[in-house]
Each structure stands twice: as C-alpha cells, then as structure tokens.
Structure 1
Amino acid sequence: MNSRYEIIIYWSEADGCFIAEAPELAGCMADGATYSEALSHAQIVIDEWLETAHKLKRSIPVPRGRLMFA
C-alpha cells in the first residue's frame, strides 16, 4: 500500500459514514462505517488510482508530505 499521500477523513452526516479523501489525487476518495474502515478503503483506492494512472501513462503527483504552517 502506498501511504505517502495525505488522507483527510471526516464524518458525512448526509451519507451516514466516514469519507476519506486523498486531495492530491483527483477524485480519489472512499468511505467506511468507521474511521479505520474509511482509512483502509482509502489506502486500497489510492493504490488502484496509482495503478490506473500508470497503465494510462498519466502524470502521477509527487506526494507533498507534511504540511508546514508559518
């Protein structure tokens, strides 16, 4: 699994589940009934996103790493 990308997880009242987004990878998101399930699903989706981008010879963003605040 590729866990170098930032993952943002939040509760969605409208969906009734946790949503996990990888903002550096356009459209890459997953959900889960629990926080850890959403994280696990997001890691799978990130791997699939990267695999698909590689097969289609699309540009793959370099992970930004830790955000620094001034």
Structure 2
Amino acid sequence: MADKGCIKCGSTSASTKEVAMTGTGLSKMFDIQHNQFIVVYCNNCGYSEFYNKKSSTGSNILDLFFG
C-alpha cells in the first residue's frame, strides 16, 4: 500500500482554516455569509479542498484530505 499524502505533491503536511462565503440572491446582495466551510490545504504546494462545516464535524478532516 502506498503512503498517503497530498494528491498533487505527496506531502504529508497540511493545515486547516475556517471560511464563510455568501450564497446567491439576497444573501449575496446583503453580504450574508451563511455558508461555512473548513478548508484543508497542503503546506507544500497549496492544493486545497473545501468541506462543509456542518456535515464534517464528526470526522477527522485531515483523514479525508489524505484519503
């Protein structure tokens, strides 16, 4: 079995950050940022994946990122 790491560069160093984004329609017009995500990004190459914060709270996000 191959070692798991970033799918782009193979690095095993990653970090997370929480971000919020606007949707469409009225939320965009009034800049209401109700879409919350956790971004996991490779510290080596910058490759990033977004995970819905509400549906990802029970699992280890870094395990999802590394497969």
Normalising by the residue count of structure 2, what TM-score does the alignment of the two structures yield?
A: 0.37
**Structure having the higher Rg:** 2
Normalising by the residue count of structure 1, what TM-score does the alignment of the two structures yield?
A: 0.36
Higher relative contact order (CA 8 A, sep 6+): 2
Higher helix content, 1 or 2: 1
Higher strand content, 1 or 2: 2
